[in-house]
Amino acid sequence: MSQNKTKKGSLEVICGPMFSGKSEELIRRLRRAEIAQQNVSVFKHAIDDRYNIENVTSHNGTKLPAHATDNGSHLLAKVQTKKYTVVGIDEVQFYTHDIISTICALVEKGARVIVAGLDMDYRGVPFGPMPTLLAIADSVTKLKAICTECGDDAHFSQLLAGNDPAIEKDVQPILVAASDKFTARCRACHDTDIKFGNTKQNESLR
């Protein structure tokens, strides 16, 4: 091994549907880094104001202070890369593809970057920059929620209109709604009129 080898960082991706515990797991890893007195910076996408724009918040109530930004270069400017820099980003699926180069730059500078995000939107279509992030990650954790229909493991987010599954034409692809508009469903119980890979209509979604 070369004596001059520069130490690089790493990318960990935590993914899954809503309610699968992504924020919980991100908070758990970041808290451990804080206990180890590492230099931790936490971000969340500014579009998500479900709870508090200054916190990463899990559905079970645990939270961690975070900078809210929708911009990769602002995020990069806020991180002082020192020894043992750890960067956490929640709701990473909402960023534009620019976030990929931001994350790669941090990893090149030696940061341990941990991101959490929805792998698919409510239709089952891969979400924003997630496919690329999953491909380039050092480690991937795909979490499951519990299907609210049958109790099996769930890896889809179901969008509801009232108590019923929402119909595609009524909604926008990227939709940040109150979490009571979504529920977790297994593949058998996931109900949508458009599914990734099923119909010709899907060609336009890829």
Q: Restricting to residues 172-201, which ones interact with ligand ADP according to CB under 6 A?
A: 184
CA separation for the pair 135, 162 (Å, rounded): 36
Query: CB under 5 to 8 A by kind: which of ligand ADP, Zn ion, none does 28 bind?
Result: none
Taking CB under 5 A as the binding criterion, the range among 39-47, 74-82, 164-172, 188-196 that sits at the site for Zn ion is 188-196
Instruction: Return the SS3 of 101.
Output: helix
Residue 16, interface with ligand ADP (CB under 6 A)? yes
Active site residue: 54, 91, 108, 203, which one?
Answer: 91
CA-based nearest residue to 128, from 179, 50, 70: 70
Site for ligand ADP in 84-123 (CB under 6 A): none
Handedness of CA 76, 79, 82, 86 (dihedral sign): negative
Measured CA to CA, the distance from residue 205 to residue 192 in angstroms comes to 15
Distance CA 116, CA 203 (A): 27
When asked if residue 184 is in the footprint of Zn ion (CB under 5 A), the reply is no
Among the residue ranges 52-60, 68-76, 166-174, 193-201, the one whose residues contact ligand ADP (CB under 6 A): 52-60
Residues that bind ligand ADP (CB under 6 A): 16, 18-24, 58-60, 145-146, 148, 184
Positions marked catalytic: 91
